[in-house]
Structure 1
Amino acid sequence: MESKLPAFSFRNKEWVNLNSWRKTALKRLTERLAIPHIRKLPEVKINKQYTYDGLQVEELSWQLPYGRPTEAILLKPQQAKKPLPGILAFHDHGGNKYFGTRKITRTNDQPHALMTEHQQRYYSGFAWANELAKRGYVVLVPDAFTFASRRVMLQDVPESMRQGLTDQEPENAKNIAAYNQWAGEHEHVMAKSLFSAGTTWPGVFFAEDQIALDILCARQEVNVNQIGCGGLSGGGLRTVMMGGLDSRIKCAVPIGFMTTWQDLVLHKSFTHTWMTYVPLLPNELDFPEILGLRTPLPTLVLNNTHDTLFTLPEMQRADKILTEIYQKAGASEHYKCSFHPGPHKFDATMQKEAFAWFDRWLKA
């Protein structure tokens, strides 16, 4: 991997035309992801509607062709009177599949104690999707595949695999921890199932997230020319894919998920979920180059210097790769990468930078 550039890298000298490269590389990436075709817009149900902390909140759900309904939270300013920019906000992985949207939202004054702790640990105590909505955005937060409403239900697997657990356990810390341990150990089974079905985990993520993007863009109060996405960790992975593959995303901010395939080969594969991997692709595009497919559209990458999921040299090399791509495209001012002190997180300082970046490119 060190001896040559990936075959579809824009850094190769033979690629001189940005649009030609993007079209060719995007076709190959799409093939490697083996994205399921579920693009028909589902019926969206509004299950609840109320106001909270100056925001209009809608609890939504929609049925995909497989599995249980996807649940989502939509947040928007209570007094909004004109079309606003939209944000597709992705929750993190965090080794916690029992929860999804609740990780980055707050819809009442008594959130689950585990989510209060989660937000304190990773987000400086903020529900960042709410904070972004307060700035004048329509924010949609969907549950990801295998999380919360989309999680693997124990009743759907053989009893011999359930380890004595049931779906009817009370929502307390002990039972949630037991489910999350079970779900973590089930990841390799899910990955093998998806590979056997002719698809990939990132491909399924993208297909479901693209439906969520379709739903966000169909909202009358959303300006479809001002759409962004972002998220921490697993949400950063989904941002890389969505930002790289769908040109409707005019501004992308992945947080705590940017490195090289080499980092995973040599150093950090053991720290990562099966949700990350796409067979054969590393020979053709390095991981940062997936996000680089959106060049020259605005992109902000936020890293933490002591993030144990990655090595600092490879995070820095990923920045160098994206810098070279944007420079070659003549769009250097549209790319920025920041390194913040500390461990894996999206804290208040990072949120401030991310929100300012969204404002700069989506509110101009």
Structure 2
Amino acid sequence: MSPTPRPSAIAGYEDWPAYVRSNPRHRASTAAAQEFSDALGVPGSLAPPEVTVHWEQTHDGATTSQLSWQLGFGPRTTGWLVRPAGHPVPLPAVLALHCHGGNKFGGADRLVELPDNHPSAASARAGHYDGRALATGIARKGFVVLAHNTFAWGSRRFDLTTAPWRTAAAVTAQRAQWREDGVVPSAADEYNAAAGFHEDTVAKTAGLLGTSLAGMVAHDDLAALELLAAQPGVDQDRLGCIGFSGGGGRSLTLAALSPRIRASVVACMMTTFESLLPAYLDAHSWLLQTPGLWKLGDWPELTGRSAAARFLVQYALGDELFPEDGMRQAHQLLESIHAGTGRYTGSFWPGGHVFTAAMQDEALEFLAQALPPPPLQNTPQGPR
């Protein structure tokens, strides 16, 4: 009797290994950026993908389009392009990068006002973004904004319908705990529990292929940045990115890898590596912890690998994921690295690991100064 075949450990991504093996590495514009790219193992992209527009609607001064595109492997990417309604002039543009949040069932939907937002997106927005739709809010200030699902999140998530061996065992234990506690999990709860355990498998696979989870996420983000830059009405000389938590790490990474980025907001995602030892490493995902990254210097020093970006780094003094001394050490390092250049602004905020409304307002002001949009035309119906 033949043994029962095991399910795929990378379901939905069986073409991932061949893609990484057959593609050259990402080509950065400077030696410093290339060294960082090689440390993450960022694969190079193929030709720009063809974009499908699924729908478009205008509400309260913002026009939102749902897009999708197929990268060279895995499931299709879904993204949302948001712009000020009816604005005819070339505009600065921002890539809005969703957080990790322990929520891989969703992705960029937590950043956009949508008529059919899944409850998990609304929950993530309430818990992490002070109830605001970050991307839509930025667009209403005069920017074109793209928010996309990145590698392993939302439309780009792995298929865990039949979980692989280790993940299945952990999910069985989680379901038993839910039953004991009288909890009836939603589909999002079920998926996120599995995905939390499965991230180790994804990181192991990436390492075996010579890349990393952060490198694969950067691959998707670089592709989205090129897609954003190619949109009609986008000023390619005024591009920025913004992210909270894991999205803040993505914002820093993108600024270090691409000379297109002129402004980067990093919210609640900055410290020194040493401050995470020994007690704080377990609080973080593989997005922050790429093996060997420390050899390139400390986390704040990665900003020095950016060719042109200005940085706003926001620290939350009550952040459960980072010790205060590590955040203050990072701030001192950043002030030293960028002394006299005007490229670094740091701000400290009360409260925990949340991108509060006040922090978002500061970030919007920073983007408006670094990438000034033209004045919006006001009409009786609102901004046009």
- Confirm or deny a common fold (TM above 0.5): yes
From 126, 139, 144, the equivalent of 1:133 is 139
CA distance in 2, matches of 1:251, 1:116: 28
How far residue 201 of structure 1 moved from its aligned partner, in angstroms, is: 1.2
Q: Residue type matched to 1:347 in 2? A: T
Question: Where does residue 77 of structure 1 map in the other structure?
Answer: 84
CA distance in 2, matches of 1:200, 1:150: 16
Does the 8 Å CA contact 1:260/1:317 hold for their aligned counterparts? yes
Q: Residue type matched to 1:267 in 2? A: A
The number of residue pairs the alignment matches comes to 333
Q: Label 1:27 to 1:86 Cα distance change in 2 as closer, same or farther (>3 A).
A: same
Q: Residue type matched to 2:265 in 1? A: V
* Correspondences of 1:170-209 after superposition (within 5 Å): 174-209=186-221
* Correspondences of 1:306-345 after superposition (within 5 Å): 306-327=318-339, 330-331=340-341, 333-345=342-354
Point out the more displaced range, 90-99 or 276-285.
276-285
Question: Where does residue 151 of structure 1 map in the other structure?
Answer: 157
Q: Secondary structure at the match of 2:103?
A: coil
Does the 8 Å CA contact 2:160/2:194 hold for their aligned counterparts? no
Runs of 4+ in structure 1 displaced over 6 angstroms?
Answer: none
Q: Secondary structure at the match of 1:267?
A: coil
From 112, 117, 139, the equivalent of 1:105 is 112
TM-score (norm 1): 0.87
Does the 8 Å CA contact 2:248/2:269 hold for their aligned counterparts? yes
Q: Residue type matched to 2:154 in 1? A: A
CA distance in 1, matches of 2:166, 2:319: 37
CA distance in 2, matches of 1:196, 1:111: 36
How far residue 284 of structure 1 moved from its aligned partner, in angstroms, is: 2.4
Does the 8 Å CA contact 1:89/1:229 hold for their aligned counterparts? yes
CA distance in 2, matches of 1:250, 1:161: 40
From 257, 278, 282, the equivalent of 1:270 is 282
Question: Where does residue 19 of structure 2 map in the other structure?
Answer: none
Question: Where does residue 254 of structure 1 map in the other structure?
Answer: 266
Question: Where does residue 365 of structure 2 map in the other structure?
Answer: 356
Point out the more displaced range, 307-316 or 296-305.
296-305
Does the 8 Å CA contact 1:267/1:311 hold for their aligned counterparts? no
Does the 8 Å CA contact 2:318/2:352 hold for their aligned counterparts? yes
TM-score (norm 2): 0.82
How far residue 32 of structure 1 moved from its aligned partner, in angstroms, is: 1.0
Superimposed CA distance per residue, residues 66-100 of structure 1 (whole angstroms, 9 cap, x where no aligned partner): 10000001100112111111000001111111011
Q: Secondary structure at the match of 1:346?
A: coil
- Unpaired segments ≥5 residues, structure 1: 1-21, 166-171
Question: Where does residue 281 of structure 1 map in the other structure?
Answer: 293
Over the aligned positions, Cα root-mean-square deviation in angstroms equals: 2.0
Superimposed CA distance per residue, residues 180-204 of structure 1 (whole angstroms, 9 cap, x where no aligned partner): 1111011111100100011111111
How far residue 325 of structure 1 moved from its aligned partner, in angstroms, is: 0.8
- Unpaired segments ≥5 residues, structure 2: 1-28, 175-183, 374-384
CA distance in 1, matches of 2:117, 2:161: 27
1:347 aligns with 2:359: no
Q: Residue type matched to 1:82 in 2? A: V
Question: Where does residue 43 of structure 2 map in the other structure?
Answer: 36
How far residue 103 of structure 1 moved from its aligned partner, in angstroms, is: 1.1
How far residue 112 of structure 1 moved from its aligned partner, in angstroms, is: 3.2
Question: Where does residue 10 of structure 2 map in the other structure?
Answer: none
CA distance in 1, matches of 2:85, 2:102: 34
CA distance in 2, matches of 1:239, 1:293: 13
CA distance in 1, matches of 2:41, 2:166: 31
Superimposed CA distance per residue, residues 268-298 of structure 1 (whole angstroms, 9 cap, x where no aligned partner): 1100012222222212211111123226631
How many percent of aligned residue pairs carry the same amino acid?
33
CA distance in 1, matches of 2:221, 2:120: 25
Question: Where does residue 101 of structure 2 map in the other structure?
Answer: 94
Q: Secondary structure at the match of 1:275?
A: coil
How far residue 173 of structure 1 moved from its aligned partner, in angstroms, is: 5.5
1:297 aligns with 2:303: no
Q: Residue type matched to 1:300 in 2? A: L
Does the 8 Å CA contact 1:101/1:141 hold for their aligned counterparts? yes
Superimposed CA distance per residue, residues 94-114 of structure 1 (whole angstroms, 9 cap, x where no aligned partner): 111101111111122x63333
